[in-house]
Amino acid sequence: MSPAERLPAPARELLKGDRRALARLISAVEDHDPAALPSLRALYRRTGHARVIGVTGPLGVGKSSLLNALLKRLREQGRRVGIVAVDPSSPFSGGSVLGDRIRIERPPGDDGVFVRSMASRGHTGGVAAATREVCRLLDAYGMDTILVETVGSGQVDVEIREVATTSVVVLVPHLGDEVQSLKAGLFEIADVFCVNKSDLPGAETAAKDLGELLGLGPASSGWRPAVVTTSTKDGTGVDSLWSAIEAHEAYLDRAGLRASQERERLGQEIVGMVAERVARDLRDGIDRDPELAQLLEEVVARRIDPQSAADRLYRDRARRR
Ligand SMILES: Nc1nc2c(ncn2[C@@H]2O[C@H](COP(=O)(O)OP(=O)(O)OP(=O)(O)O)[C@@H](O)[C@H]2O)c(=O)[nH]1
Ligand SMILES: [Mg+2]
């Protein structure tokens, strides 16, 4: 029996290029369906080839429009592209407060593109964990470039940093509101800044201000974020945006960071999974294990402080192993 034949059926179908198998496995990841686990495990060995590019920024700055523009160019270069739009599913007009959001469309009949949106809510292991698995499925399916759109809402974007090798932060002219976003952490995650809507007044000034702001940062020997201006209305700057992304990807290879960052990410992923299980065990234990329940009572009665209780719990568990 060849290794391919030992794969679970959904994984085998995905590797054969069956889009429906891919779509079903992605849904299973979203639903936390344990039935997908054997396929996910088996497919892991087939991953590690795709570049994952995160595109984030405040609502309505043109992230999806930019992804459409990038998608067109990437397809012209013959790349196979997966797109994941992580959506806040806000109660406003189906996700956008503006109501004029652009959809990312797969060109009809183009098998080299797969577009999927997923809700950012309701992922127990964190949205990064679910996104990571979806990216792996796309990677195993043979997509060499994966673009992930997230709305600049702080936590999710920082989490996406755990998945993407290059993060693009999209802004628009007149940095007023965006300065707040920068403070909220977008500044730290950007490898590339993109000032979109450059057909509107103020884009050059905004890019210049950003450049100066970046210049104020520590003159580290590593990567200084690139700043590009784009307009999806007339297509200006989209090539420069892709060049900046590629320059960062090349930098990762040149500096040996791709391998070391991947290693670090995988280490954190494993630790995170174990930590989650241990935490779940302990939480269950507080309800069911009389010893744990007793310890909690001691803390409630102010006879022991929480730190000492945690120390005792940690030591007891370590001893039992
Ligand atoms: N003037 C101008 N408008 C743009 C440009 N790019 C996008 N838009 C418009 O901005 C609006 C929002 O575009 P989207 O691409 O949906 O923006 P988004 O950041 O993906 O939006 P959300 O996903 O809702 O956060 C749409 O009306 C676009 O037509 C641009 O370069 N110039
Ligand atoms: Mg969008």
CA of 174 to the centre of ligand 1 (A): 15
- In short, whether 120's Cβ falls inside 6 Å of ligand 1 is no
Which long-range contacts does 245-254 make (Cβ < 8 Å, 24+ apart)? 245/53, 245/166, 245/168, 245/191, 245/192, 248/166, 248/191, 248/192, 248/223, 249/51, 249/165, 249/166, 251/223, 252/165, 252/166
Assess whether 172 and 295 both reside in one domain. Answer: no
Assess whether 31 and 147 both reside in one domain. Answer: no
Q: What is the domain extent for residue 7?
A: 1-45
Assess whether 233 and 151 both reside in one domain. Answer: yes
Assess whether 218 and 92 both reside in one domain. Answer: yes
- Distance, CA of 47 to CA of 88 (rounded, Å): 27
- In short, whether 165's Cβ falls inside 6 Å of ligand 1 is no
Assess whether 98 and 192 both reside in one domain. Answer: yes
Assess whether 25 and 156 both reside in one domain. Answer: no
Assess whether 9 and 117 both reside in one domain. Answer: no
Q: Note whether residue 23 is domain-resident.
A: yes
Assess whether 36 and 77 both reside in one domain. Answer: no
- In short, whether 70's Cβ falls inside 6 Å of ligand 1 is no
Which residue, 207, 233, 255, sits at the end of a domain?
255
- In short, whether 65's Cβ falls inside 6 Å of ligand 1 is yes
Q: Note whether residue 260 is domain-resident.
A: no
- Contact, 139 vs 47, CB < 8 A? yes
The total of structural domains in the chain comes to: 3
Is the pTM for the entire model greater than 0.85? yes
Please report, for the domain that includes residue 51, its CATH number. 3.40.50.300
Per-residue pLDDT of the chain (321 residues; tens, 9 = 90+): 455 568 999 999 999 999 999 999 999 999 989 999 999 999 999 999 999 999 988 888 999 999 999 999 999 999 999 999 988 765 454 445 556 888 898 989 999 999 999 887 766 667 788 899 999 999 999 999 999 998 866 666 667 778 899 999 998 887 665 555 565 566 778 899 999 999 998 888 888 888 887 776 665 668 888 999 999 999 999 999 999 999 999 999 999 999 999 999 999 999 988 998 889 888 888 888 888 889 999 999 999 999 999 999 889 887 877
- Which atom of ligand 1 approaches the CA of 103 most closely? 16
Q: Note whether residue 36 is domain-resident.
A: yes
Q: Note whether residue 26 is domain-resident.
A: yes
Q: Note whether residue 63 is domain-resident.
A: yes
Q: Note whether residue 176 is domain-resident.
A: yes
